[in-house]
Amino acid sequence: MEQNKENVELEKAIEDKFLTPSKFALEIEKIVAEENCNYIDAICHYCEINSIEVDSIAKLISKPLKERLKWDAIRLNFMKKTSRAKLPL
């Protein structure tokens, strides 16, 4: 029981220290809501604030966030409206 509690505390400490896809998605959602911008701009804004290269966040983009990015890209005419359209992430 004691070791299980220590493992849970360790996992929480690791999660707090490192950015996970779910935590990244929440941060992006918060920026979209507060700044009233699209997901593409929100990710660029987040990367700029945190001095992160945009290229390095591909592994942090969850499937739901990728779908929202795709919708924004189609809406902004960055991608064609096809079922095969794929983001290069």
DSSP-derived secondary structure for 44-63? HHHHHHTT--GGGGGGG--H
Residue 14 domain-assigned?
yes
pLDDT of residue 16: 60
> Is 81 contained in some domain?
no
- 6 domain residue, yes or no: yes
Domain contains 44: yes
Q: Which residue has the tokens 């699209």?
A: 38
pTM of the predicted structure, to 2 decimals: 0.71
Domains: count for the chain:
1
Give me the domain span that covers residue 51: 2-75
- 62 within domain boundaries: yes
The pLDDT of residue 79 is: 81
Residue 85 lies in a domain: no
87 occurs within a structural domain: no
Q: What is the pLDDT of residues 11-64, one digit of tens each?
A: 666 656 677 888 899 999 999 999 999 999 999 999 999 888 988 888 899 999
Separation between Cα atoms, residue 36 and residue 51, nearest integer Å: 22
